[in-house]
Amino acid sequence: MDDPERYRLTLTSDGAVVMQGWWSDRATGERKFRSWIGSYSGIAGARITLTERLDDETEQVLQSWPD
């Protein structure tokens, strides 16, 4: 069964969480990651991170912006 919260996308501004989204599909998470950069990169102090929740419940960073 797919985990509907396996891939998490987080937008922060100066360290505060502004928005999050979760998906079961990595391709969807990566597409949303690129979309969020285009939509929210103008926010002061913005950082966008895509993570994957692993079987042991830890999270691995897959992509982040800015680098």
| Structural domain includes residue 15 | yes
* pLDDT per position as a tens digit, 6-65: 999 999 999 999 999 999 999 999 999 999 999 999 999 999 999 999 988 899 999 999
Q: Is 26 helix (H, G, I), strand (E, B) or coil?
A: helix
Do 33 and 50 meet the contact criterion of CB atoms below 8 Å apart? yes
Quick one: pLDDT at residue 4?
87
Domain span at residue 19 reads 7-65
Do 37 and 9 meet the contact criterion of CB atoms below 8 Å apart? no
| Structural domain includes residue 2 | no
H/E element holding 11? Answer: strand 7-13
| Structural domain includes residue 1 | no
Quick one: pLDDT at residue 33?
98
Q: What's the structural domain count of the chain?
A: 1
| Structural domain includes residue 61 | yes
| Structural domain includes residue 58 | yes
Kindly tell me if the per-residue pLDDT of 1 is higher than 80: no
